Each structure stands twice: as structure tokens, then as C-alpha cells.
């Protein structure tokens, strides 16, 4: 028998097995690294987006800086104009003083007015006797008053607008953090402003009683004081518009500030004030066209003291004197004048209707009993009402004469007998 041969299976060489293990380890390592590669790609894309966003922000910041510089330059120019006008005022006053040194023709009234609890020599007013010089000085004072009036309305259109834009740009990110812009500080500054004005005005009223022959000159000075207080009043409102009382004052001065500035104020108003009543009133005012002389009057829903809906049709084919509140403000003299108008005219030619700022019917009934000669109406919305928004009335009273065709012929703040009578005479319903 042949010898049996045992055939052993061939074993893999040691080198081949090592290579297989190495390949397997490489595959595992590659599998582990794949998520890391995807993460790198995502991170790169996020970085690119961040860099792009940063570039856009840098561009926006550059535009902001350029606009800021432009507004600063405009403010500087307007400030120089204001200072120039102030110097002109001082020049006119100095001229008055020089003229007054001729004692043979002039008498001098020197007086002091207490300002903010401190006695200060406010001005010495020199009043001439000679008629020609009187006319010259009166014209000079009139020029000063006109300059102040011009400045006031220029500020309304230009300085107020630019100043608030600059203020918004500089404080929109820090106004809420500024500890000085607070409700308490606004109320304090507002009280000081009007306390000072009342002290000065009372001193002038006393002088009017003591020297009635100088009333024209004193009234000019009183007008200057009021113009100054009015300008400061608007300035305070713009400074503190981010607090509730400041925003309320902005609403009250809306027709002085202008709609463009009001829009800018609403755009940067803190979230806590965006949905308040006064913010909504301002928004409504901006979106609504206001009426002026020559426009067709607008009817709105309102009630009489009897609780019935007021019928505007009863005012057709007659002249209507529509007053925005103010019966108490005008005093007995004003109310007697209105009664006299009614006595001198026929109801088919003229009627007087007073819109009252009251919140309820019971109060309107009480007012009607107190003022029985006039027709009182109200929509029971003391602020933000149709007279405020559509007729742009804020001062009490604001008077509107509406003719027989429903056209607003006269609009005046306060009761102006001459304007009223001139129109009624032109209509031949008042002799």
C-alpha cells in the first residue's frame, strides 16, 4: 500500500493578512472622518454668510455716519441763523435804549421781573412821546415780533424736523438707557418753564394796570415772552418724546412739529409706547388729511345733550359758527359776545354749535344747563376726536365759520370778533 499523504490547506502568508487588517482599519477611520468633513463644509458656508452680513452692516453703518454728518452740518447752519436773528433782536433793543437817552423827548420805564424765584433785571423799556419816534419804535417792535414769529414757523418746518432727526439718530439706541430722560424730569422741566412764563406775564399785567398808556409796548413784550416759551415747549416735547407725558405733549403740538417729524418719532418710539392712545392718535393724524379754509366741511357722528344724534342737515343753507370747546376759556365777555351775535341775527342765517371735550353724556347735560344759549355736542372722546384729527383743532376755542354751501370760510384760534363780523357782514346777515 502506498503511504497516505496528508494534504494541509494552504495558509495565508503573514504579510497578506497584515495588509487586510490595515485596509480594514483605514476604512473604519475614513468612515469616522466623513461627518467631520461635512461639519467643515457647513462651518465654511456659515463663515461666508457671516462675513457677507458683516460687510452689509458695515455699509449700512457708513451710510448712517454720512447721514449723521450731513444733519450735523445742517443743524450748525440753522443754529448760526438763529444766533444771527438773536443778535438782530439785541441790536434793535440797543437802538431803543440809545433813542431813550434823549430825556427831553422820552420817558423811561425800568422794571424788574422775578424769574425762577430770583430777581433779575429783565429789560428797561424806553417809551417815546414824540409821535414820529413812537411810530418808528412801534415799527421796530413790530419787526422784532415778526422776526420771532418767522423764526417760530421756520423752526416748525426746518429746525424742528432736522433737530428731531438728529436726536433720533443719536439716541435711538440709548434713549431708554439714558437716566436723564424720565417722566419725572420732564414734568419738572415743564413746570419750571410755565412757572417762569407766568411769573413774567403777571409782572407785565401789573405794569399794564399801572401804565395803561403803554399797553401796546407791553403787549409786544408779552408776545415775545410767549413765543420764547412756545419754542421751549416744543423743544421739551421733542427731547422727552420717549416718556408718556412727553409723547402726549408731542400730540398736543402736532401741527407745529409737522407730519414728517411725527413719522420719525413713531419709527423709533419704544415698544412700551407704540400701542398707547397718544401714539395711535398721532398715527391717525398723520394718515388723515386736515381741513383748512376753502375746504368742504366734514360731518362726523356726535350727540346732543338730549342723547340724540346730532343732525348736521339742520345746519344746511345757513352759516354755522362751529367752536371747538372753549366756552369757559373765553370768559363771560366771550360768551356775551356770542349771545349778542345770536340776538343780532336770524336762526335761518346763523347758528352756533359748540363741540365739548367731555367723556360722558351726564357731563354734557350739565354743560348744556350752564350754557343754555348754545347747541352743545360731543362724541365723548376728550382727545383724538374728529375735531382734533380732521379739523386740526387743539386750542380752545378754535372757531370755524362754515358758509351756506358748507365751505369753511374762516378758521381762527381763539375768538376773533373782527374776522367773524367781517364775514357775516359780507353775507349780509349782520349789519
Q: Which helix (H) or strand (E) covers residue 425, if one does?
A: helix 417-426
- pLDDT (average), residues 2-21: 55
> 3-class secondary structure for 295-364?
CECCCCCCEECCCCECCHHHHCCCEEEEEECCCCCCHHHHHHHHHHHHHHCCCCCEEEEEECCCCCHHHH
Name the domain boundary from 260, 287, 314: 287
Same domain, 169 and 235: yes
Structural domain includes residue 48: no
In this structure, are residues 224 and 144 in contact, taking their beta carbons and an 8 Å threshold?
A: yes
Same domain, 279 and 332: no
Res 316 pLDDT > 70: yes
**Which DSSP symbol is given to 178?**
-
pTM score: 0.61
Same domain, 307 and 282: no
Same domain, 81 and 206: yes
| Residue 75 to residue 162: CA distance in whole angstroms | 7
Structural domain includes residue 9: no
The residue count for the chain = 431
Res 29 pLDDT > 50: yes
| Per-residue pLDDT tens over the stretch 62-106 | 766 676 666 666 666 666 655 665 565 565 555 544 444 443 343
Res 181 pLDDT > 80: yes
Tell which wins on pLDDT, 209 or 36.
209
Give me 343's grid cell.
Answer: 340776538
In three-state secondary structure terms, 288 is coil
User: Which pLDDT value is given to residue 340?
Assistant: 94
In this structure, are residues 287 and 400 in contact, taking their beta carbons and an 8 Å threshold?
A: no
User: Which pLDDT value is given to residue 78?
Assistant: 60
Torsion of CA 70, 65, 57, 180, to 10 degrees: -110
Name the packing angle between helices 331-344 and 417-426 (round to 10°).
10
Name the domain boundary from 287, 316, 331: 287
Res 32 pLDDT > 60: no
Name the domain boundary from 287, 315, 335: 287
Structural domain includes residue 297: no
| Residue 389 to residue 285: CA distance in whole angstroms | 5
Give me 313's grid cell.
Answer: 342737515
Same domain, 242 and 205: yes
How would residue 215 be classed by pLDDT, with cut points 50, 70 and 90? confident
Q: Which residue(s) pair with 13 in the sheet? A: none
User: Which pLDDT value is given to residue 190?
Assistant: 95
- pLDDT (average), residues 389-409: 96
Same domain, 276 and 332: no
| Residue 338 to residue 342: CA distance in whole angstroms | 6
Nearest CA-CA partner of 400 in 423, 428, 381: 423
Structural domain includes residue 33: no
Q: What are phi and psi of 349, to 5 degrees?
A: -105, -30
User: Which pLDDT value is given to residue 245?
Assistant: 96
- pLDDT (average), residues 391-411: 96
Tell which wins on pLDDT, 141 or 339.
339
Alpha helices of 178-239 — where are they, by DSSP H? 183-210, 215-239
Lowest mean pLDDT among 171-175, 185-189, 313-317: 171-175
Q: Which helix (H) or strand (E) covers residue 410, if one does?
A: strand 408-413
| Per-residue pLDDT tens over the stretch 156-179 | 444 444 544 554 444 444 444 467
- What does the longest C-alpha to C-alpha distance in the chain come to? 172
CATH number at residue 422: 3.40.30.10
How would residue 150 be classed by pLDDT, with cut points 50, 70 and 90? very low
Structural domain includes residue 16: no
User: Which pLDDT value is given to residue 106?
Assistant: 37
Same domain, 184 and 279: yes
Same domain, 169 and 260: yes
User: Which pLDDT value is given to residue 365?
Assistant: 96
Structural domain includes residue 377: yes
| Per-residue pLDDT tens over the stretch 266-298 | 999 999 999 999 999 999 999 999 999 999 999
How would residue 417 be classed by pLDDT, with cut points 50, 70 and 90? very high
**Which DSSP symbol is given to 156?**
I
Domain count, the chain: 2
Nearest CA-CA partner of 367 in 382, 346, 385: 382
In this structure, are residues 226 and 149 in contact, taking their beta carbons and an 8 Å threshold?
A: no
Q: What are phi and psi of 35, to 5 degrees?
A: -60, -35
Range(s) of the domain holding residue 351: 303-426
- pLDDT (average), residues 190-199: 93
Res 9 pLDDT > 70: no
Give me 373's grid cell.
Answer: 344759549
In three-state secondary structure terms, 402 is strand
User: Which pLDDT value is given to residue 85?
Assistant: 59
Same domain, 260 and 308: no
Please report, rounded to a whole number, the percentage of residues in the chain having pLDDT higher than 90. 50
Same domain, 268 and 314: no
Same domain, 94 and 166: yes
Same domain, 168 and 252: yes
Q: How many helices (H) and strands (E) does the chain have?
A: 14, 8
- pLDDT (average), residues 2-16: 51
Structural domain includes residue 234: yes
Q: Which helix (H) or strand (E) covers residue 166, if one does?
A: helix 160-171
| Residue 63 to residue 304: CA distance in whole angstroms | 56
Lowest mean pLDDT among 66-80, 102-116, 246-260, 367-381: 102-116
Give me 206's grid cell.
Answer: 401789573
User: Which pLDDT value is given to residue 129?
Assistant: 36
Structural domain includes residue 362: yes
Please report, rounded to a whole number, the percentage of residues in the chain having pLDDT higher than 70. 62
User: Which pLDDT value is given to residue 31?
Assistant: 56
Nearest CA-CA partner of 374 in 320, 311, 411: 320
Alpha helices of 240-291 — where are they, by DSSP H? 244-252, 254-257, 259-267, 271-274, 277-287
Amino acid at each position: 500500500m502506498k503511504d497516505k499523504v496528508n494534504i494541509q490547506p494552504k495558509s495565508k502568508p503573514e504579510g497578506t493578512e497584515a495588509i487586510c487588517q490595515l485596509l480594514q482599519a483605514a476604512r473604519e477611520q475614513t468612515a469616522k472622518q466623513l461627518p467631520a468633513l461635512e461639519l467643515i463644509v457647513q462651518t465654511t458656508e456659515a463663515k461666508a454668510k457671516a462675513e457677507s452680513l458683516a460687510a452689509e452692516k458695515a455699509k449700512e453703518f457708513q451710510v448712517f455716519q454720512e447721514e449723521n454728518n450731513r444733519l450735523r452740518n445742517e443743524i450748525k447752519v440753522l443754529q448760526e441763523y438763529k444766533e444771527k436773528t438773536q443778535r438782530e433782536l439785541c441790536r434793535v433793543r440797543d437802538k431803543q435804549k440809545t433813542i431813550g437817552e434823549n430825556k427831553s423827548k422820552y420817558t423811561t420805564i425800568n422794571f424788574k421781573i422775578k424769574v425762577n424765584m430770583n430777581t433779575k433785571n429783565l429789560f428797561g423799556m424806553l417809551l417815546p412821546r414824540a409821535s414820529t419816534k413812537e411810530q418808528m419804535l412801534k415799527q421796530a417792535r413790530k419787526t422784532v415780533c415778526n422776526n420771532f414769529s418767522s423764526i417760530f414757523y421756520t423752526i416748525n418746518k426746518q429746525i424742528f424736523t432736522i433737530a428731531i432727526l438728529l436726536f433720533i439718530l443719536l439716541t435711538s439706541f440709548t434713549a431708554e438707557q439714558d437716566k436723564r430722560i424720565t417722566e419725572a424730569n420732564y414734568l419738572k422741566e415743564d413746570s419750571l418753564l410755565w412757572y417762569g412764563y407766568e411769573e413774567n406775564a403777571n409782572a407785565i399785567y401789573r405794569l399794564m394796570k399801572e401804565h395803561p398808556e403803554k399797553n401796546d409796548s407791553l403787549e409786544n413784550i408779552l408776545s415775545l415772552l410767549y413765543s420764547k416759551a412756545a419754542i421751549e415747549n416744543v423743544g421739551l416735547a421733542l427731547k422727552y418724546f420717549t416718556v408718556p407725558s412727553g409723547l402726549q405733549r408731542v400730540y398736543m403740538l402736532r401741527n407745529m412739529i409737522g407730519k414728517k417729524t411725527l413719522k420719525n418719532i413713531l419709527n423709533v418710539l419704544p415698544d412700551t409706547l407704540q400701542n398707547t392712545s397718544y401714539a395711535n392718535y398721532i398715527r391717525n393724524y398723520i394718515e388723515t388729511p386736515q381741513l383748512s379754509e376753502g375746504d368742504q366741511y366734514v360731518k362726523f357722528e356726535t350727540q346732543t345733550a338730549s342723547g340724540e344724534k346730532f343732525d348736521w342737515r339742520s345746519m344746511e343753507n345757513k352759516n354755522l359758527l362751529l367752536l371747538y370747546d372753549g366756552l369757559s376759556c373765553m370768559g363771560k365777555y366771550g360768551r356775551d359776545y356770542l349771545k349778542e351775535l345770536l340776538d343780532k341775527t336770524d336762526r335761518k342765517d346763523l347758528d352756533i354749535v359748540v363741540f365739548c371735550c367731555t367723556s360722558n353724556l351726564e357731563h354734557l347735560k350739565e354743560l348744556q344747563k350752564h350754557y343754555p344759549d348754545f347747541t352743545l355736542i360731543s362724541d365723548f372722546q376728550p382727545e383724538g376726536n374728529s375735531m382734533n384729527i380732521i379739523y386740526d383743532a387743539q386750542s380752545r376755542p378754535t372757531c370755524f365759520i362754515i358758509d351756506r354751501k358748507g365751505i369753511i370760510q374762516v378758521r381762527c384760534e381763539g375768538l376773533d370778533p373782527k374776522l367773524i363780523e367781517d364775514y357775516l357782514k359780507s353775507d349780509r346777515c349782520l349789519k
